[in-house]
Amino acid sequence: MSDSIDNKKIVDRFAGEKREHSYIEDLDSVSTADKERMRLAGIDTTTRERSATYLQKDHSLVHCNVTQEGLEVMDIKTALETHGWLNEYVWRLVKPDKDEFTKQADEVPHLGYFIRALPGVKSLSPVQACLYLATDSISQNVHNIIIAEEGSNLHIITGCSTAPGVASGLHIGVSEFYVKKGATVSFTMIHNWSEGVVVRPRSSIRVEENGRFINNYIVLNPVESIQMYPSTHLVGDNAVTSLNSILVAPKGSHLDIGGRAVLSGKNTRAEIIARAITTGGTIYSRGQIVGEVPGVKAHLECKGLILEGGGSIIAIPELEGRAEDLELSHEAAVGRINQSEINYLMARGLTEDEAVGVIVRGFLHVDIEGLPPELKEEISRNIQKSQKEYL
């Protein structure tokens, strides 16, 4: 009850103002400062290595371009006008009355993206979608639908960021994913907010037979609070999911990040991996695996590092087995950097700071499946950059 009152307070804090922006034909004309903010969220404004680009600024679609046939990218409003059948996909996996935020997204919608791969189509390079908060103290309530039709392969990078000087705001993102038979979706979300931004994504994913859903979530920079708990339902036989998060909480950041995998199809597999570092902020790292039928396998792993700054990490793994003959496991460890590793690297000539930096980078560097090399490098650069600033 008190939760919903607090949620209402957050919604009211940023409610009201509507902010529209005009369309940008040429992304090159975006200011260098904005480009840099977007780059830190994985968005490449040159669009060279991207098969499609969707850019939403506050409440307006400001750029949308698709270069590969068989991919559809548009704002959700246009998509609903284009595809009569799309109503069957909206508010099916997430319910509007789930909480104050989904209610807000339903009642005061501000677009959101629709991304679809037609049957058998494989995105040659990632589709990128950027949700940009350009005005201070407003709320951006988006609703996204992602559909990978049978046998398709869809690679998406979504970057959320604030413009320079935007100190606060609310981002609500409802996302519904449909991964159909034999399709693969690899979805990488990078958040690059600022100190006063409240973020409430609400995502749910349905994976059919032989489908694969890979979700990578990365947040390295300060934010007021993020709370999310994407829920993946492996309904088809042999469906697979992998949910990875890389979380850094500087002082003032409150991250409550989880992931749920429900294994109800035969022979389904799930893996939830989190790497969390606090340099003063609070991280709740949750994970829940529900095995509903015999023979399924899933693993949950959370490793947390508490660096200087007095932060805390709370790891909450949950395993729920509801059938015989299934294999669910978890491992969680929270602590500090092993001094012997620091000493070892110092014996090779690295200073203590250099050694700590290398170890932290290694700790965050989980081999994330489904990331193209250039994005790996990008993430590596982001980690190094945030390290310099906050560690």
Rg (C-alpha) for the chain, rounded Å, is 20
Determine, following the binding rule CB under 8 A, whether residue 334 of this chain makes contact with other proteins.
no
Residues belonging to the chain: 391
Binding residue for other proteins, selected from 6, 352, 369, 377, defined by CB under 8 A: 352
Rounded to 5 degrees, what angle do the CA atoms 258, 39, 80 make? 65
Token output for 308: 């200087």
Task: Give me the least distance between CB of 345 and other proteins, in Å please.
Answer: 7
CB of 16 or CB of 335, closer to other proteins: 335
Cα torsion 375, 381, 382, 385 to 10°: value is -170
Determine, following the binding rule CB under 8 A, whether residue 387 of this chain makes contact with other proteins.
no
Determine, following the binding rule CB under 8 A, whether residue 390 of this chain makes contact with other proteins.
no
Binding string, 132-161, against other proteins, x = CB under 8 A? ------------------------------
Determine, following the binding rule CB under 8 A, whether residue 349 of this chain makes contact with other proteins.
yes
Task: Give me the least distance between CB of 344 and other proteins, in Å please.
Answer: 5
63-71, 285-293, 309-317, 356-364 -> range binding other proteins (CB under 8 A): 356-364
Classified as helix, coil or strand, 197 is strand
Binding residue for other proteins, selected from 33, 323, 333, 346, defined by CB under 8 A: 346
Using an 8 Å Cβ cutoff, are 306 and 278 in contact?
yes
Binding residue for other proteins, selected from 282, 295, 361, 384, defined by CB under 8 A: 361
Strands 231-234 and 260-263: parallel
Determine, following the binding rule CB under 8 A, whether residue 335 of this chain makes contact with other proteins.
no
CB of 49 or CB of 341, closer to other proteins: 341
Would you give the distance in Å from CA 268 to the centre of its chain?
22
User: What is the rounded CA–CA span in Å between residue 219 and residue 225?
Assistant: 11
CB of 24 or CB of 366, closer to other proteins: 366
Binding residue for other proteins, selected from 331, 338, 377, 381, defined by CB under 8 A: 338
Determine, following the binding rule CB under 8 A, whether residue 343 of this chain makes contact with other proteins.
yes
Classified as helix, coil or strand, 8 is helix
Q: How far apart are the first and last CA of the chain?
A: 37
Binding residue for other proteins, selected from 111, 364, 379, 391, defined by CB under 8 A: 364
Bridge partners of 331?
A: 301
User: What is the rounded CA–CA span in Å between residue 218 and residue 246?
Assistant: 5
Residue type, 114: F
Determine, following the binding rule CB under 8 A, whether residue 307 of this chain makes contact with other proteins.
no
Binding residues vs other proteins (CB under 8 A): 338, 340-341, 343-352, 354-355, 358-359, 361-366
